[in-house]
Structures are given as structure tokens and as C-alpha cells.
């Protein structure tokens, strides 16, 4: 028996594999602090759960319209119009299985074999995987610590060719927590327009922001018609297991998104969509409280890491990850992460799980309790004290 040849080109998300490895170690009795998982440790707020339960009891258990229930499409359009600063009509909104669904449909709908797609490096590994899967060519755009993990615009210019079709942006970013400024986005928008690129703007961490403003590139002049916005409920509302995301697309892409939804999932779970309506239209204090707690954890982990010789960590403005450089310990990111789990019981990801650029980095998620973060910091300090090669 044989697989289709395109299966040779599909990648993966090593966070899930790292989590499985950490759990296997745990099953042998070892205490592990999990800093590999990119999901809020909070429960979904009670009002959202109650709305979904109510919908179940009211019999909202049938197929929904493929693009989403009208109430949710309207709530998303209204929310996006306010928070992202562009006029969004409900017809442009497609409810998807996770934010990941948006990635799949955007890349399926737009990338032809041989098309080049600019992807952030370090960046979420599924962009690259899906581009390759469709026969496209991912072109890494390096994001460097020295530049606050923002795009280097001069470098970006040199990477655009006549084959470039799409540019993927992710701000606030996984894995670095970096945030693009309004000025960055204005210059990127000018390039996208000049070279007729489509932008896939992954804004899934848009509300997990500690400093500055969240700017959607789609709100800049000339960009709404060439931007696919990816957003969702997983991170903002601690709803990772619900698998609920959404796309906001220009009118010319609506047909394609509809067809791809019908061909893949038919629609997203109907009663869950009622929970999502409550998420957007109900009180937002749970989101504010979660972001305030993430901020305290960010400061705890950044200060703790910077107190360890050989580790340098920026203070990210968004998301819930830190991406420290650990080359001062004499180890590569991959060796550091492997040994940290085996020898100190802290599960982290190598920077190279996010592309080829960040060999000297690891990613730690601080979506974990302050007590566990403290425990992890103590273990990292002891581990580094033991293994570090003095410079």
C-alpha cells in the first residue's frame, strides 16, 4: 500500500509530540513542569459554558449554515469592526474549526504549485507545512531577537520575487511574543500592494497584548481586499478544546471559503457557536483578568530567566510565550530542551521547532501557574549551573 506523494511534504507541530514525550516521562513517576503547551490553563469562562449548555438543551444540535450561524457571523463582524478598526460585513465572516481551519483554507484557496509564500521564521510551523503540502514554496523571513523579533523590512524586500503570492504575518507572535508596530505594518502594506501579495494575518493573539496597540493590517488603506484575517476563540477565551476560529475574508474569497468549508467539515458544531456568541457579546472581564495574570507571569519568567547566567530573554509585548537565547550555556536550543526535560523535568520546545533560524533559542509557554513557573525557574537555574560551559 502507498500514500499519496504529497504526504512526503506535510510537516507537523512538534508541541504536540513534545507534550506526549513529557507525559510519557510523567507516567514513569517523574514530576514534569509543562511549559511546552500553547494553551491557557484557565477554564472557559462560566457564562460561555452556560450559553453552550443552554443551546444543547434547546436542541441546537443540528447542522448549522456552512459559514456559521448568522448570530455569530454578525457578532464577529461587529467585534472586528470595533477592535480591528475596519468595516466588516457578516458576509465576509466564516466560522472554522479552530484558527487552524483558516490557515488551511487560505493556503488551499490561494497557493498554486511553485508559488512562493513568505513565512515568519521563527513562526508557527503549520504555515510552512501547509504551503509545502499544496506544492508551494515556503520562503522563511527571519525574525531576530536583536530586532525585537519584528520583520526586517529591508530583508523582506529582498525576499520578494515574481513568484511570491502570499505573506504570512503573526502579531503578537508565536513563538517569540513579538509585536509588529503600526509603522512596520504600513511599510509591509506598501510592499504587499506594490507586489500584489495576499496577506494572511494571523491575529489569534491580538487581545493578549501588554503594551502598545493591536493594529490589524487589514485596516490600512488598500489592504482589506488583499488580507485574510485569522482569529478565533482558543487563546482569548481559553477555548482551545472547542476548536472554534474564524476568517474575515475579502468578498472575492468568500466563494472559495464556503466551498472549502462544505468540502471539509460542513459546518462547525452548532451549540458551540452559541457559546461563541456569548463570548463576544457578554462581559469581557474574564479576558481582562486572564491577560492581567499572563502579564504578571510574563514578568516573573522574564526576570527569572535573565537572572540565570547564559540566558538572555526579551520581555515580549504579547502572546504567552518567551523565546530566550540560551547560547551562553554552551548548548544548542535542541540539546537544551532535550536535556532540560530528561535531567530537570521541565518541558520546553527547541527554537528549531519553529524554523531554521533560531538554533540558539528555546520556547517556554507561561500559560501555567506562577507556582509552576517558579518551580521551573529553580530547575532551569540548577540545570544551567550544572551543565553550562563557562564562556
List of residues contacting ligand PLP (CB under 6 A): 38, 98-100, 124, 170, 174, 202, 204, 232, 234, 240, 245
Contact 319, 87 (CB under 8 A): no
- Which of these, 229, 217, 223, 191, lies nearest to 106 by C-alpha position? 229
Using the minimum distance from each CB to ligand PLP, give the nearer residue, 321 or 383: 321
Cβ partners under 8 Å of residue 313, min gap 6? 301, 302, 305, 306, 322, 323, 324, 325
User: Residue 34 corresponds to which cell in the numbers above?
Assistant: 509543562
User: Please, what is the minimum distance in Å from the beta carbon of residue 308 to ligand PLP?
Assistant: 26
Whether the link from the prior residue into 324 is cis, omega within 30° of 0, is no
Q: How far apart are CA 77 and CA 259, in angstroms?
A: 21
User: Please, what is the minimum distance in Å from the beta carbon of residue 375 to ligand PLP?
Assistant: 24
Using the minimum distance from each CB to ligand PLP, give the nearer residue, 202 or 377: 202
Q: How far apart are CA 372 and CA 347, in angstroms?
A: 12
User: Please, what is the minimum distance in Å from the beta carbon of residue 207 to ligand PLP?
Assistant: 13
The residue whose grid cell reads 501547509 is 130
User: Residue 89 corresponds to which cell in the numbers above?
Assistant: 460585513
User: Please, what is the minimum distance in Å from the beta carbon of residue 124 to ligand PLP?
Assistant: 4
Using the minimum distance from each CB to ligand PLP, give the nearer residue, 45 or 304: 45
Q: How far apart are CA 256 and CA 110, in angstroms?
A: 9
- Which of these, 299, 293, 282, 308, lies nearest to 380 by C-alpha position? 308
Contact 375, 391 (CB under 8 A): no
Closest residue by beta carbon to ligand PLP: 98
Using the minimum distance from each CB to ligand PLP, give the nearer residue, 170 or 273: 170
For β-strands 245-248 and 349-350, DSSP reports them as: unpaired
Using the minimum distance from each CB to ligand PLP, give the nearer residue, 22 or 344: 22
User: Please, what is the minimum distance in Å from the beta carbon of residue 57 to ligand PLP?
Assistant: 26
Q: How far apart are CA 109 and CA 260, in angstroms?
A: 8
Q: CA 298, 304, 305: angle at the middle one, nearest 5?
A: 90
Q: How far apart are CA 368 and CA 41, in angstroms?
A: 6
Using the minimum distance from each CB to ligand PLP, give the nearer residue, 184 or 202: 202
User: Please, what is the minimum distance in Å from the beta carbon of residue 202 to ligand PLP?
Assistant: 5
**HSE-up (13 A, CA, CB side) for residue 162:** 0
Using the minimum distance from each CB to ligand PLP, give the nearer residue, 290 or 384: 290
Using the minimum distance from each CB to ligand PLP, give the nearer residue, 234 or 332: 234
| C-alpha torsion sign, points 203, 269, 12, 30 | positive
User: Please, what is the minimum distance in Å from the beta carbon of residue 387 to ligand PLP?
Assistant: 29
User: Please, what is the minimum distance in Å from the beta carbon of residue 170 to ligand PLP?
Assistant: 5
Contact 164, 195 (CB under 8 A): yes
User: Please, what is the minimum distance in Å from the beta carbon of residue 106 to ligand PLP?
Assistant: 12
Using the minimum distance from each CB to ligand PLP, give the nearer residue, 120 or 328: 120
Q: Residue 34: how many CB atoms within 10 A of its CB? A: 19
Using the minimum distance from each CB to ligand PLP, give the nearer residue, 164 or 234: 234
User: Please, what is the minimum distance in Å from the beta carbon of residue 190 to ligand PLP?
Assistant: 24
Amino acid at each position: 500500500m502507498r500514500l499519496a506523494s504529497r504526504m512526503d511534504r506535510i510537516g507537523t507541530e512538534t508541541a504536540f509530540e513534545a507534550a506526549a514525550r513529557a507525559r510519557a516521562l510523567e507516567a514513569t513517576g517523574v514530576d514534569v513542569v509543562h511549559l511546552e503547551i500553547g494553551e491557557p490553563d484557565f477554564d472557559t469562562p462560566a457564562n460561555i459554558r452556560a450559553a453552550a449548555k443552554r443551546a444543547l438543551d434547546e436542541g441546537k444540535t443540528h447542522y448549522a449554515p456552512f459559514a456559521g450561524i448568522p448570530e455569530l457571523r454578525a457578532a464577529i463582524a461587529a467585534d472586528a469592526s470595533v477592535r480591528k478598526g475596519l468595516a466588516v460585513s457578516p458576509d465576509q465572516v466564516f466560522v472554522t474549526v479552530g484558527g487552524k481551519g483558516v490557515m488551511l483554507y487560505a493556503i488551499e484557496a490561494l497557493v498554486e504549485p511553485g508559488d512562493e509564500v513568505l513565512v515568519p521564521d521563527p513562526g508557527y510551523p503549520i504555515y510552512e507545512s501547509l504551503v509545502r503540502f499544496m506544492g508551494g514554496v515556503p520562503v522563511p523571513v527571519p525574525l531576530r531577537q536583536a530586532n525585537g523579533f519584528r520583520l526586517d523590512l529591508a530583508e523582506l524586500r529582498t525576499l520578494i520575487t515574481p513568484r511570491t503570492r502570499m505573506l504570512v504575518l503573526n502579531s503578537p507572535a508565536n513563538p517569540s511574543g513579538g509585536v509588529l508596530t503600526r509603522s512596520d505594518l504600513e511599510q509591509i502594506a506598501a510592499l504587499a500592494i506594490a507586489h500584489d501579495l495576499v496577506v494572511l494575518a494571523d491575529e489569534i493573539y491580538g487581545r493578549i497584548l501588554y503594551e502598545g496597540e493591536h493594529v490589524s493590517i487589514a485596516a490600512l488603506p488598500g489592504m482589506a481586499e488583499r488580507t485574510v484575517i485569522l482569529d478565533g476563540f482558543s487563546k482569548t477565551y481559553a477555548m482551545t478544546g472547542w476548536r472554534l476560529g474564524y476568517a474575515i475574508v475579502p468578498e472575492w474569497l468568500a466563494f472559495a471559503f464556503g466551498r472549502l468549508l462544505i468540502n471539509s467539515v460542513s459546518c462547525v458544531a452548532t451549540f458551540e457557536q452559541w457559546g461563541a456568541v456569548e463570548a463576544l457579546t457578554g462581559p469581557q472581564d474574564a479576558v481582562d483578568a486572564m491577560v492581567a495574570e499572563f502579564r504578571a507571569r510574563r514578568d516573573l519568567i522574564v526576570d527569572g530567566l535573565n537572572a540565570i547566567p547564559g540566558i538572555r530573554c526579551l520581555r515580549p509585548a504579547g502572546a504567552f510565550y518567551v523565546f530566550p537565547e540560551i547560547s551562553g550555556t554552551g548548548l544548542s536550543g535542541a540539546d537544551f530542551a532535550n536535556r532540560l526535560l530528561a535531567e530537570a523535568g521541565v518541558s520546553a520546545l527547541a527554537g528549531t521547532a519553529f524554523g531554521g533560524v533560531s538554533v540558539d533559542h528555546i520556547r517556554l509557554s507561561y500559560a501555567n501557574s506562577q507556582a509552576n513557573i517558579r518551580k521551573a525557574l529553580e530547575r532551569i537555574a540548577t540545570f544551567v549551573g550544572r551543565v553550562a560551559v563557562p564562556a
